[in-house]
């Protein structure tokens, strides 16, 4: 399909380079249109989720759970196991049976919270009230969840791999190391340094605000119109 299409549109320069590297399409056929990320703002926050799961504002770190190896979520579990108590809670949005599938859950005890069947309004509230959102993936075609978190009100710690620096610039905190200790230290900075959360979030939100679906649809239509006109 990539070779037969007149135009290939993808979501980041990084993705474009991968399409070229694996000979899906040549550079002259590829256009980059970044995704929007403001969709969650259409739904009001539902703060009932905090009481339901025993969470307090800025008292937990939020992560989206995944079984895919490239998401690298294990490094966050290990980072928390190396934190001395008292420590923030680790709230993970995932399947209901997540606790049963993770050996480390017993080590974290009540500091580990698995969140399942979450609505958009509840997810927005979880982002908004988190101490920080962590996304340790080894690669991503587009930094969608990081932008979601920023738009909803959470600062972000992530990796500089894949499309992350292209999309997020210098307006989030990066951890390059795969070391759980490095992740632990980065997370604890948000707990221990007054003002870090607010200052980091302000920079990130100003950057994230430009990734709107209106902007994306306008750019996409322009690319389609160019093909139609030719």
pLDDT digits (tens, 9 = 90+) for 59-71: 999 999 988 899 9
Mean pLDDT of 128-142: 97
Do 141 and 14 contact (CB within 8 A), yes or no? Answer: yes
pLDDT (0 to 100) of residue 109: 87
pLDDT (0 to 100) of residue 99: 66
With a cut of 90, say whether residue 162 has pLDDT above it: yes
User: At 97, is the pLDDT very low, low, confident or very high (cuts 50, 70, 90)?
Assistant: confident
Mean pLDDT of 63-86: 93
Place of tokens 């403001």: 38
With a cut of 80, say whether residue 101 has pLDDT above it: no
Per-residue exposure over 83-98, b if at least 16 CB sit within 10 Å of its own CB, e if not: beeebbbbbbbbeeeb
Cα dist from 47 to 30, 39, 56, whole Å: 42, 18, 10
Cα dist from 110 to 44, 68, 89, 114, whole Å: 29, 25, 8, 10
Mean pLDDT of 112-129: 96
Ramachandran sector of residue 195 (left: φ over 0; alpha: ψ -120 to 50; beta: rest): left
Do 213 and 40 contact (CB within 8 A), yes or no? Answer: no
- Name the average pLDDT for the chain: 94
Place of tokens 């949005």: 93
**Separation CA 8–CA 50 (nearest Å):** 43
Mean pLDDT of 26-47: 97
- Tell me the β-bridge partners of 113: 91
With a cut of 90, say whether residue 108 has pLDDT above it: no
Omega cis (within 30) before 86? yes
pLDDT (0 to 100) of residue 210: 97
C-alpha torsion angle, residues 101, 104, 109, 110 (rounded to 10): -70
Mean pLDDT of 156-178: 96
**Separation CA 224–CA 229 (nearest Å):** 9
């Amino acid at each position: 399909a990539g070779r037969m299409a007149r135009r290939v549109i993808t979501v980041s320069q990084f993705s474009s380079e991968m399409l070229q590297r694996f000979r899906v399409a040549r550079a002259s056929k590829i256009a980059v249109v970044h995704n929007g990320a403001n969709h969650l703002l259409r739904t009001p926050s539902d703060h009932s989720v905090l009481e339901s799961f025993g969470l307090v504002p800025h008292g937990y770190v939020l992560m989206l759970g995944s079984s895919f190896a490239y998401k690298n979520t294990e490094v966050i579990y290990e980072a928390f196991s190396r934190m001395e108590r008292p420590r923030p809670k680790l709230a993970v949005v995932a399947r209901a049976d997540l606790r049963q599938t993770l050996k480390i859950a017993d080590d974290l005890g009540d500091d580990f919270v698995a969140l399942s069947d979450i609505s958009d309004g509840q997810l927005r509230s979880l982002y908004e009230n988190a101490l920080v959102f962590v996304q340790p993936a080894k690669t991503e075609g587009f930094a969608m969840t990081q932008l979601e978190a920023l738009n909803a009100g959470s600062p972000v710690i992530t990796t500089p791999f894949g499309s992350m620096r292209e999309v997020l610039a210098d307006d989030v905190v990066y951890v390059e190391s795969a070391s759980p200790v490095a992740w632990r230290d980065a997370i604890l900075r948000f707990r221990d340094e007054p003002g870090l959360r607010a200052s980091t979030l302000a920079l990130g939100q100003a950057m994230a605000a430009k990734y709107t679906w209106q902007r994306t649809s306008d750019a996409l239509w322009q690319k389609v119109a160019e093909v139609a006109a030719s």
